[in-house]
């Protein structure tokens, strides 16, 4: 029954795409003519932008309303049907695909967190105890060390040492995974401090923060002088247009109950009463993207990126859409206002790039998509429900213990219900024999759960042949999607995929929606390429995010590693990679 429903969904998608392909074929002559007259990109500055949790659905929903930067970028090469083709659609693995040309099973970044069975502790994807944070030596230290793949910026600097590579984001995992191992600077926003980075042994925090010191000082002064208040965006054109985005977004206000909490989706949000709450609210607002883009501009101008003879790289990950999606959902007034502000801010950022002396190539995509909160979808008649983690894993442990006569809970799901680790009484690795029999006992129980679409022994997935090189991302089986997420030693012993309408996440005071599934609402993302002189071209066939890096590499004359998964895609009609 479940397989039939999933297959029907797949067939419906195929029919829609077939219509799109036919429409594209009818107009191919016109597209070819327009592309043949387009200016080929010859960049001295490559700007790669990731909008965290910017699903293809979100892009399509708001595209008719774009008037700023997103409208400008949508006038270039547009792949509205891009894919993060792996299964664990989280921030760290998704960002790791964008500029490495590799799926997470080759980047080593299988998830945001994994469980280390040698220590019995959860490990953050970028955790590195050999470094410290510039803003707090006792904070969670991070670096690119866990990422076993190199990025486009690394390839570029290997052949062009004078090239500069910078990464900026609202999150460490956005800045670091996109800019790689040899970046000249990687900075992310820390509320209450400004932009920070990591410090290696022998380095000083002062020296590492020097590129952003003046910016951070101004940021703090500006925020003290005029605190950011998140209300509906206002535009000088509102009087002419009848209210603009503010009127459109305000119409989405409504009351909800999630996790036993009653709240109203509306702006402005209730005022915070503690300093910690103020910082939390500031991070989960359009302010995060605003200051990230401002820092990107400041670094571009300070270092003259794109002004010299070499190619430079500016990798930008915009985190606010994800923060807001998790806290408020994807289709309320909060997300509506966020997208409108992001569009405007991107327009201002792109305007600033007109000062660059060399050519500029901009690529935009996302690390993953995201679904709306289950309660709003349920209220609209969809059969969406939450799977509560602790009771679910407790029941499974009890069943396995009874079946095998164990005296301990053998299954650990601290990293999430989609990855389950088999452990011994001490919470650490057990014998291979115990792993085999515990996994064999647990799998049928998991698969029989009506909320589950599929579950696999990760060792079996590791032996699964890779999908054919020409396989479309939309056609991958569930096992093939999971295979692209499985990295040995980090992934769970058992990997689980819940049904598309079952959400393995509990709603909390600041958390109502999530992502991370192998389904298309989490996998599909837009992929855009733009440069001055680009002819508008909508390309309806699917594209994988791993194709972005080799495409940019070909444009700039850089040879990627031979073992990448992605393929170069010609940006101009008739151009060969």
Average pLDDT along the chain: 93
Helix (H, G, I), strand (E, B) or coil at 124: strand
| Residue that wins the pLDDT comparison between 577 and 264 | 264
CA distances from 63 to 48, 66, 190, 237 (A): 20, 5, 31, 19
Which whole number is the average pLDDT over 39-55? 97
112 is in an annotated binding site: yes
Enumerate the β-bridge partners of residue 349: none
pLDDT one-digit tens code per residue, 387-403 = 999 999 999 999 999 99
Check whether 556 has a pLDDT greater than 90: yes
Q: Mapped to the 3 state alphabet, what secondary structure does 75-103 carry?
A: CCEEEEEEECCCCCCCHHHHHHHHCCCCC
Dump pLDDT digits (tens) for 498-532.
999 999 999 999 999 999 999 999 999 999 999 99
Residue 395 counted as an annotated binding residue: no
C-alpha to C-alpha distance for 380 and 193, rounded to whole angstroms: 42
Strand partners, 420: 494
Q: Residue 447 pLDDT more than 80? A: yes
DSSP one-letter code for 507: -
Number of H helices, E strands in the chain: 22, 22
198 Cβ contact list (under 8 Å, min separation 6): 128, 131, 132, 133, 134, 141, 142, 143, 186, 208
pLDDT at 7: 42
What confidence category does residue 1 fall into, taking pLDDT thresholds of 50, 70 and 90?
very low
Question: Residue 18 pLDDT > 90, yes or no?
Answer: no
Q: What does the pLDDT look like over 351-399, one tens digit per residue?
A: 999 999 999 999 999 999 999 999 999 999 999 999 999 999 999 999 9
Binding residue per annotation — 172? yes
Q: What is the pLDDT of residue 302?
A: 98
Q: Summarize the confidence of residues 132-147 as an average pLDDT.
A: 97
Is the pLDDT at 33 greater than 80, yes or no? no
- Does the annotation mark 321 as catalytic? no
397 known member of a binding site: no
Structure token digits, residue 326: 């998790």
Whether residue 564 is predicted with pLDDT greater than 80 in this model: the reply is yes
Say if residue 115's pLDDT is above 80. yes
User: What tens digit of pLDDT does each residue of 72-101 get?
Assistant: 999 999 999 999 999 999 999 999 999 999
> Considering 9, 18, 39, 91, which one is annotated as catalytic?
91
The larger pLDDT score, comparing residue 27 to residue 160, is at: 160
- DSSP letters of 165-211? EEEEESSHHHHHHHH-SS-SEEEEEETTTEEE-EE-TT--HHHHHHH
Name the pLDDT band for 127 (thresholds 50, 70, 90). Answer: very high
Position 29 confidence tier, pLDDT thresholds 50, 70, 90: very low
Quote the pLDDT of residue 531. 98
Looking up tokens 């022994």, which residue turns up? 457
Q: Please state the rounded mean pLDDT for residues 296-317.
A: 99
DSSP 145: G
Range from 228-237, 455-464, 508-517 carrying the lowest mean pLDDT = 228-237
């Amino acid at each position: 029954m479940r397989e039939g429903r999933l297959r029907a969904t797949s067939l419906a998608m195929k029919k829609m795409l077939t219509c799109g392909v036919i429409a594209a074929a009818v107009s191919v002559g016109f597209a070819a003519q327009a592309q043949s007259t387009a200016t080929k990109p010859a960049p001295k500055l490559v700007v790669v932008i990731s909008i965290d949790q910017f699903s293809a659905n979100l892009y399509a929903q708001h595209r008719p309303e774009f008037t700023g930067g997103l409208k400008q970028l949508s006038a270039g090469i547009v792949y509205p049907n891009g894919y993060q083709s792996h299964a664990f659609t989280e921030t760290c693995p998704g960002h790791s695909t964008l500029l490495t040309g590799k799926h997470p099973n080759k980047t080593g970044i299988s998830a945001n967190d994994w469980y280390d069975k040698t220590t019995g502790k959860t490990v953050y994807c970028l955790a590195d105890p050999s470094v410290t944070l510039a803003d707090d030596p006792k904070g969670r230290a991070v670096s690119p060390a866990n990422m076993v793949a190199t990025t486009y910026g690394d390839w570029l600097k290997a052949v062009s040492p004078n090239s500069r590579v910078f990464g900026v984001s609202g999150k460490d995992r956005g800045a670091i995974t996109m800019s790689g191992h040899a970046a000249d600077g990687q900075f992310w926003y820390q509320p209450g401090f400004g932009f920070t980075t990591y410090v290696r042994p022998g380095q000083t925090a002062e020296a590492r923060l020097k590129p952003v010191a003046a910016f951070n000082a101004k940021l703090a002064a500006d925020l003290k002088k005029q605190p950011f208040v998140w209300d509906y965006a206002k535009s000088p054109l509102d009087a002419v247009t009848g209210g603009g985005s503010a009127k459109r977004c305000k119409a989405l206000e409504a009351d909800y109950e999630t996790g036993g909490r009653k709240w109203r989706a509306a702006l402005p949000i209730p005022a915070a009463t503690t300093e910690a709450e103020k910082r939390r609210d500031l991070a989960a607002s359009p302010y995060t993207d605003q200051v990230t883009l401002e820092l990107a501009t400041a670094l571009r101008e300070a270092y003259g990126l794109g002004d010299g003879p070499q190619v430079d790289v500016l990798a930008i990950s915009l985190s606010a859409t994800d923060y807001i999606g998790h806290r408020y959902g994807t289709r309320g007034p909060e997300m509506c206002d966020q997208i409108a502000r992001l569009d405007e801010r991107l327009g201002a950022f792109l305007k600033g790039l007109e000062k660059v002396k060399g050519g500029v190539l901009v690529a935009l995509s996302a690390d993953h998509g995201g679904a709306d909160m289950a309660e709003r979808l349920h209220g609209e008649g969809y059969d969406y429900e939450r799977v509560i983690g602790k009771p679910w894993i407790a029941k499974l442990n009890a069943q396995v213990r009874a079946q095998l006569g164990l005296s301990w809970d053998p299954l650990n799901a601290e990293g999430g219900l989609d990855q389950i680790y088999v452990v011994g009484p001490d919470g650490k690795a057990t014998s291979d024999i115990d792993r085999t029999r515990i996994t064999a006992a647990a799998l049928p129980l998991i698969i029989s759960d009506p909320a589950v679409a599929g579950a696999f022994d990760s060792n079996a997935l590791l032996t699964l042949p890779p999908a054919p090189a020409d396989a479309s991302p939309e056609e991958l089986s569930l096992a093939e999607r999971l295979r692209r997420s499985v990295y040995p030693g980090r992934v769970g012993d058992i990997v689980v995929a819940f049904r598309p309408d079952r959400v393995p996440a509990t709603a909390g005071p600041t958390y109502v929606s999530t992502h991370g599934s192998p389904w298309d609402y989490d996998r599909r993302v837009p992929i855009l390429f733009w440069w001055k002189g680009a002819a508008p071209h909508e390309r309806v066939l699917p594209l994988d995010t791993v194709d972005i890096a080799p495409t940019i590499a070909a444009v700039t004359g850089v040879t990627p590693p031979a073992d990448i998964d992605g393929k170069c895609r010609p940006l101009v009609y008739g151009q060969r990679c």
